[in-house]
Amino acid sequence: MTADGLTAAELRSYRDRGWRCVRFVWCNSNVISTVERQSCVYLTQNWRDRTLRGIGYSLLSLACGPWGVPWGIWRTAESIWINSTGGRDVTVEAIERAPVER
């Protein structure tokens, strides 16, 4: 589930029940440039949700990332590491940016 459209109060409620807002990263390269991209913010309930969502972004990095010289392989490895450890926790930032009310 994405965190788009949820208010700050709703996100706090989810956070208090153990949910986390995370972003996953993937790497896109061509021969002369490498760019790290981020996913939308996902609201995840446990480590299993985060790991399963991260697998897709890691595979995308493996397919598109290692082709840049010299940073492609390093950014790809970094992306896979971040995704396999549950993504980047952005719960605090998501709550701060969320609208107060609808």
∠ CA 22-59-36, nearest 5°, is: 60
Q: How far apart are CA 79 and CA 20, in angstroms?
A: 19
pTM: 0.89
* Residue 102: predicted pLDDT: 62
Residue 37 corresponds to which amino acid?
Answer: R
* Residue 70: predicted pLDDT: 87
Low pLDDT (below 70) residues in the chain: 102
* Residue 101: predicted pLDDT: 76
* Residue 2: predicted pLDDT: 83
Q: How far apart are CA 61 and CA 95, in angstroms?
A: 28
